[in-house]
């Protein structure tokens, strides 16, 4: 397929088909689209991506309503409406596959296989296709058939066992971390598979990519694995505290909280000087980070005796002047209006045909020669069906018949 819609990013010339719902698959393809790939999102016209029905909503012309999360999660993509359970829709999808480089899907394992659209069948049609599947628990194993939402993955991956306050109720990470990390792993694996395919030893052949929310979550347990495999000790919730170092956590101030990380000799010296705590600096219990961690309860109480007498701005200013890593705890109202992020042009506006400019979170990937793509907001369902189907050989009459069939 032609790439006239793709930006001149590092993945320009790569065509990605997405059969994605909710978070993991669409987040993976958003990364690829930001990097210049052409992403064609294929949705059932009768049952599209459920994120389209997730509020809050923005009102367009007439009675049209658009999901605000969808507009951001699906930026830089095109939308084609096809019913893959119909013969006509499946045939059209196979034409798209024939010219694609990548398929990303995050349906329940086996869903596309049952439609004759599994990796083996599509590899026969397009041997160079990278077929990437993101799922709750992987494509095989005893848990594979279970529904795998982010919170279930966080629970089974152990994340909820270490998140929150000691002796508190179970708490999940505030963002859907397993969904998001599995999306990032999927995008990374896809780019690796494309690189391998196009190298001489790859013989031009694609491969299957299998990423699970569960394993993505477990992969983050770097400190916990280091402790368990060395000592057998199981991690527990620590609030904001570090697993092995101190002081490295949030401390109270008169009007809020400040996070501090004074774990090196230099930063520990700086903290004691900035907060006028010479008695802590002289205490042999706190001579090194290991000792400070062992006596963390008493240490933090002593530090907070000083910080609660000052406001957050004063504590941050004093610690920054002393070279101590620190930061206030911002809410998202502060984050989305942050002067540093604004100066770096992190937020930007994507155009939408009904809504005009739609504010976007920027891509953290900053490449000096191939900037991240800044195209359109998440597309209207089926907005690109006619153009994309025309590119793969359908006549206007055939497109009318195909789209008419699915509309009934």
| Active site residue ranges | 179
| Strand ranges (E), 116-273 | 130-135, 208-212, 248-252, 257-261
Distance, CA of 180 to CA of 272 (rounded, Å): 38
Cβ proximity of 192 and 207 under 8 Å = no
Contacts of 340 (CB under 8 A, 6+ apart): none
Element of type H or E holding 335 = helix 332-335
**Bridge partners (DSSP) listed for residue 154:** none
Distance, CA of 46 to CA of 405 (rounded, Å): 12
Whether the ω angle into residue 86 lies within 30 degrees of 0, i.e. cis, is: no
Q: Which two tokens stand for residue 166?
A: 């000691």
Cα-to-chain-centroid distance, residue 228: 27
Cβ proximity of 133 and 209 under 8 Å = yes
Closest to 19 measured CA to CA, from 191, 185, 135, 147: 135
Cβ proximity of 146 and 135 under 8 Å = no
Closest to 52 measured CA to CA, from 70, 64, 40: 70
Distance, CA of 120 to CA of 221 (rounded, Å): 34
Element of type H or E holding 348 = strand 348-352
Whether the ω angle into residue 6 lies within 30 degrees of 0, i.e. cis, is: no
Contacts of 400 (CB under 8 A, 6+ apart): none
Cβ proximity of 73 and 27 under 8 Å = yes
Cβ proximity of 43 and 149 under 8 Å = no
Closest to 12 measured CA to CA, from 373, 270, 366: 373
Distance, CA of 134 to CA of 211 (rounded, Å): 5
Distance, CA of 130 to CA of 194 (rounded, Å): 7
């Amino acid at each position: 397929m032609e790439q006239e819609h793709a930006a001149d990013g590092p993945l320009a010339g790569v065509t990605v088909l997405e059969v994605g719902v909710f978070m993991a698959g669409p987040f993976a393809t958003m990364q690829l689209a930001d990097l210049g790939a052409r992403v064609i999102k294929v949705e059932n016209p009768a049952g599209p991506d459920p994120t389209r029905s997730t509020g809050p909503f923005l009102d367009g012309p007439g009675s049209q309503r658009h999901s605000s999360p969808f507009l951001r999660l699906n930026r830089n993509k095109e939308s084609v409406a096809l019913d893959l359970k119909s013969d006509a829709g499946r045939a059209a999808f196979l034409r798209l596959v024939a010219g694609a480089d990548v398929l990303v899907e995050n349906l329940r394992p086996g869903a596309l296989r049952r439609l004759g659209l599994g990796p083996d069948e599509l590899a026969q049609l397009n041997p160079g296709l990278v077929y990437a599947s993101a799922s709750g628990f992987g494509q095989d194993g005893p848990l594979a058939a279970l529904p795998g939402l982010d919170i279930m993955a966080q629970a089974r991956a152990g994340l909820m066992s270490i998140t929150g306050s000691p002796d508190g109720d179970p708490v999940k990470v505030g963002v859907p971390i397993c969904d998001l990390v599995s999306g990032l792993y999927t995008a990374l694996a896809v780019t690796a598979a494309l690189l391998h395919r196009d190298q001489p030893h790859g013989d031009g052949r694609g491969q299957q990519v299998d990423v699970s929310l569960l394993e993505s979550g477990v992969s983050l347990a770097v400190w916990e694995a280091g402790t368990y495999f060395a000592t057998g000790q199981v991690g527990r919730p620590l609030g904001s505290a570090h697993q092995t170092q101190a002081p490295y956590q949030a401390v109270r101030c008169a009007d809020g909280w400040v996070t501090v990380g004074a774990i090196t000799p230099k930063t520990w010296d700086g903290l004691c000087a900035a907060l006028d705590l010479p008695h802590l600096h002289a205490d042999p219990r706190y001579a090194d980070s290991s000792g400070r961690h062992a006596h963390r309860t008493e240490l933090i109480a002593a530090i907070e005796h000083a910080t609660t007498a000052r406001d957050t701005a004063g504590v941050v200013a004093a610690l920054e002047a002393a070279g101590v890593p620190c930061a206030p705890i911002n809410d998202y109202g502060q984050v989305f209006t942050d002067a540093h992020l604004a100066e770096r042009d992190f937020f930007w506006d994507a155009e939408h045909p009904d809504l005009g400019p739609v504010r976007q979170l920027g891509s953290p990937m900053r490449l000096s020669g191939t900037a991240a793509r800044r195209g359109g907001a998440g597309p209207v369902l089926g907005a690109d069906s006619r153009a994309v189907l025309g590119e793969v050989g359908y006549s206007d009459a055939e497109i009318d018949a195909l789209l008419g069939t699915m509309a009934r």
